[in-house]
Amino acid sequence: MYITVINDVHGKSVLYEMHLLPLALSLAQHDMARRHDVTCRWRKDWQSATVVNSTLVVDPTIQLPGFDLHRRQWSLLNHFLTGQGHCNACHKKWGFTNNELCDCAEIQTMLHIVNSCP
């Protein structure tokens, strides 16, 4: 594939030809290398992080089951899966409230809301 550009500079026609295949391949290789580098850095950072749910995501390039759900459903399910959502225990941890108790007098966590709250 070639590009030809004709410019009229001071009454002269200038013809430029450039073969695009090497450029396209170079850009594709650069993009693949960049993606690989980002994935490697993410994996290294993720493995060295001390987070509670580090085992939930093994590879960020693989879509998890349920990823095709609507965003609201996906988010809500992930709040319960990770234990990080709108509950009094999280709100206290985030500084939104001083009380982490549920109306039933137990600590209100995401797990408590699903499993043990009346």
Please report, for the chain, the start and end positions of each structural domain, with discontinuous segments joined by +.
1-51, 63-118
Q: Which amino acid is at 37?
A: D
15: which strand partners?
6
E strands in the chain: 2-9, 12-19
Please report the pLDDT score of residue 15 as a whole number: 47
Instruction: List, for residues 26-46, the tens digit of each pLDDT value.
Output: 666 767 777 777 888 877 887
Three-class SS state of 48: helix
Instruction: List, for residues 49-107, the tens digit of each pLDDT value.
Output: 776 776 777 777 788 788 889 999 988 888 888 888 899 999 999 999 999 999 999 99
Determine the Cα–Cα distance for residues 101 and 88; give it in Å rounded to an integer. 6
* 12 pLDDT above the threshold of 80: no
CB 77 within 8 A of CB 69: yes
